[in-house]
Each structure stands twice: as C-alpha cells, then as structure tokens.
Structure 1
Amino acid sequence: MPVADTVVLGENVVIYHPDLANLYGCKIGDGTRVGTFVEIQSDVEIGANCKIQSHCFICSGVTIEDGVFVGHGVMFTNDRYPRAINDDGSLQSAADWTCLPTRVSKGASIGSNATILPDLVIGQYALVAAGAVVTRSVPDHAIVAGNPARIVGSTSPSQRTPA
C-alpha cells in the first residue's frame, strides 16, 4: 500500500519511492524526507526537516519533533505487553490494549537498527547509538548505547565526548 489519502504532507516533503512505503493516517512536516520500505502508522506526527531512512517502522503513538534523524531499520513499539490473543483465546482488538506514546525531541538522532520501547522521551539533540535498545527516557544531549541503552557521553558542545 503506498501513501494513503489520510496522510497530511507538508510542503516539500520527499517520499523517495511512494510505491515502496506504507503511510496512513499520519502527519509529516515541511521538508521531511522519507526513505523506501518505511511504514508510518496512523496518529504519528513527524515534524519539519526530518530524515527517516529506509526500512523504519514508526507505529501509532509516536511523535517526532523537528530536525530529527531516524537511521535505517529503526523500530518503534507502542505496547509493553504485546499479545495476539486474550486469556480466553480470542483475538485481541484495539480495545484490549493501550497505545503508549513516545516522543523524539527536536534535533535528536537515532542510529540504524535501534529499537525504541514505548512510554518514553528521547531528549533534544540526544544521540541513540546504532543497535541500542532504548527502555527508558533519554536526557537532552545524552549519547546512549547498548542493550539496555545507557548514557555513554554527551552531544553538548561544552561537554562533547566520543560515543
């Protein structure tokens, strides 16, 4: 499914291969670029001048502010206890779980193949290292790496340390 009619696109948004993306019910800000094989679900808001690399999954409940970089293969989640069925064996529906929000703040960067668990905030200008599993909120300007992600440095110009 390409870009659905329910998608709200700002000015100068680039979707490199619309036939190889799955976007529905989301809002994408001015100047943002979206790579191939990306899925952006309903109730997602992406700010202006972001870069969403290929093979990303951005699920309902995610808000991405302006100027954010999302590397290749980044996966967001919105449910801490995912299940296909209820205790009685019936298939779960939207009424059987709560969508937990995630916010990626202005200027943050998320490296390739990172996994972002729900109900957290990635701070302004924070950097999530490639392959990290983010299980809790990340402070502004923090560099986090590992599984679970831990602070390993700072992006603050006055405190910049290597990752």
Structure 2
Amino acid sequence: MIHKSAIISSKAKIGVNVKIGHYSVIYDNVVIGDNTIIEGFCEIGYPTNLADGNPLIIGNNSYIRSHSIFYEGSSFKEKLVTGHRVTVREKTYAGLNLQIGTLSDIQGDCQIGDYVRTHSNVHIGKHSKIGNYIWIFPYVVLTNDPHPPSETMLGVAVKDFAVIATMAVILPGITVNEHALVGAHSLVNKDVPYGMVVAGNPAKILCETSKIKLKDNPQLSAYPWPRHFRRGYPDSVTEEWRSMFGEKII
C-alpha cells in the first residue's frame, strides 16, 4: 500500500507488497525489494553526484522507520531495519539484516557485513569497514580524520564479533580485532588485539574477554558472546556458531 500523499518517481523500481507511508519521497534512482515497509516522512534515494550514478538498492523484507534519509548509490541486502531519523550517505554497502538505531548517521563510503547491530546515536565515519556480527552501542563514534580539518581520511576497521560499548570513540585508522570488547566511555588510539578488553582514556588492555563472567551465571564466560546469546539471529546462523565455537549455545 502506498499512501496517497507519498511522492514516487516513475523511474523508481518498486517490488511487490511494498508499503510507503505518508509524505515519503522515493526518488528516481531507487530499487526497493519486495515486502519492504517505508514509514512516513522518509526520503529514499536522495540525489547526489557523489553516487556516480549508481542506484540505491534496498533488499527484500526491509523496514525503514519515519523521517529517515537514504542517499542514492548505496546497497543493502535483505532485512535492513532502522530506527527513526536515520541518515545514510552514498556508497554504503551492507550485508544481511543490518540494524541502524534511531538518530544514527552513516557517512558513506563504508563497507558493512552481515548482522551488524548499531544502537541509537551512532556515528560511523567515512571509509569505515565493519565486519560481521558486530555490536555497536549508543553514542559510539567511529572517526576518520587524523588531523581535522583535512582531506586525509583513515577509516576505522571493526572485525567480526567485536563489541563497542556506549560512548566509546575510536580514533582514525584504528582496528578493533575479532572478539574484542571496547569498554564504555573509552578513547581508543591503538589497535585492539584479538579477544581482548580495552577501556579508559586512553584505552588500555585490561584482560582477555574470556575472563569476564556472566552476571546471572558466574560459572560461564560472557565472551565469546555467541555461546550464550542468539536472540534475533536465524537458526542457520546459530548452528554455524555451534560448529565454530564447539560449545552448546544455552
């Protein structure tokens, strides 16, 4: 169902069973997959020369909440989900089931893997490279300019299964490696090693993530988190985790 107040370009390609809310605008260079919901007051495929003429592609079964803006020139696989008032710039390429929290901002020229979760008010700077199964919590900032303002951009890299806790700032060119945990309010100015906890300003290595125990079950390690957390992930993924980590997921 398309609301009568929505403005839909005749050049846009709209899949079947797509719902578009009141006063939303769908621009020319847009492909929207089947069974997608776009709520009211959104701008989808906002024109920009920086897109090099490439379309905005929204995968099947996506859900974009109200007042969100997506520029042309980006591509999202199935089950994209956003909060309200999200902004995503051009040349953002994301995998399956990306979740973008309310008031978050992706500045474009970014690569994002499968099943990435960002909470509200997250800023992802240009040239960020984010792997699979990442958690980024509220008010996290991934920076990219080593001596602002300048034309130099060094994107942050976040590797598979890493977790970045609330209000952390990752400085330009830093890599947060697999299974690492960045503590809340941290300023990260050095690469974070595999499977380590860092925290503080500047962030320092505290311990291996496996040393942290679950609050509700102190006999078990909280990390790697896929051993005990699977809400929102399909069975095919959690079965892969069982094989990968060699333990039953509780």
TM (norm. structure 2) is 0.56
Q: Quick one: which amino acid aligns to residue 118 of structure 1?
A: P
| Matching residue of 2:198 | 144
| Matching residue of 1:115 | 169
1:3 partner SS = strand
Residues 34-63 of structure 1 show CA distances to partners (whole Å, capped at 9, x for unaligned) of 111011012111111010111011010110
1:45 partner SS = strand
| Alpha-carbon distance between aligned partners in 2 of 1:129 and 1:145, rounded to the nearest angstrom | 5
1:63 partnered with 2:129: yes
The alpha-carbon deviation at position 97 of structure 1 amounts to: 2.0
Unaligned runs of 5+ in 2: 1-67, 214-221, 223-250
The alpha-carbon deviation at position 7 of structure 1 amounts to: 2.2
| Alpha-carbon distance between aligned partners in 2 of 1:134 and 1:110, rounded to the nearest angstrom | 10
| Matching residue of 1:30 | 96
Structure 1 stretch 6-15 or stretch 143-152: which is displaced more?
Answer: 6-15
| Matching residue of 1:8 | 75
Where relative contact order (Cα < 8 A, 6+ residues apart) is larger, the structure is 1
| Alpha-carbon distance between aligned partners in 2 of 1:116 and 1:105, rounded to the nearest angstrom | 13
Which 4+ stretches in 1 moved above 4 angstroms?
A: none
Residues 102-159 of structure 1 show CA distances to partners (whole Å, capped at 9, x for unaligned) of 2100000000000000112101010000100000100000100000000111124xxx
The alpha-carbon deviation at position 161 of structure 1 amounts to: 3.8
| Matching residue of 2:22 | none
Q: Quick one: which amino acid aligns to residue 141 of structure 1?
A: G
The alpha-carbon deviation at position 5 of structure 1 amounts to: 2.3
Match for 1:50 among 89, 92, 116?
116
Q: Quick one: which amino acid aligns to residue 7 of structure 1?
A: S
1:21 partnered with 2:86: yes
| Alpha-carbon distance between aligned partners in 2 of 1:9 and 1:30, rounded to the nearest angstrom | 7
Unaligned runs of 5+ in 1: 84-95
The higher radius of gyration belongs to 2
* Contact 2:189 2:202 survives alignment (8 Å): yes
| Matching residue of 1:90 | none
Identity %: 31
| Alpha-carbon distance between aligned partners in 1 of 2:137 and 2:198, rounded to the nearest angstrom | 15
- In proportion to residue count, which structure has more helix? 2
| Alpha-carbon distance between aligned partners in 1 of 2:74 and 2:98, rounded to the nearest angstrom | 14
Report the number of matched residues: 146
TM (norm. structure 1) is 0.84
| Alpha-carbon distance between aligned partners in 1 of 2:71 and 2:145, rounded to the nearest angstrom | 24
Q: Quick one: which amino acid aligns to residue 136 of structure 2?
A: V
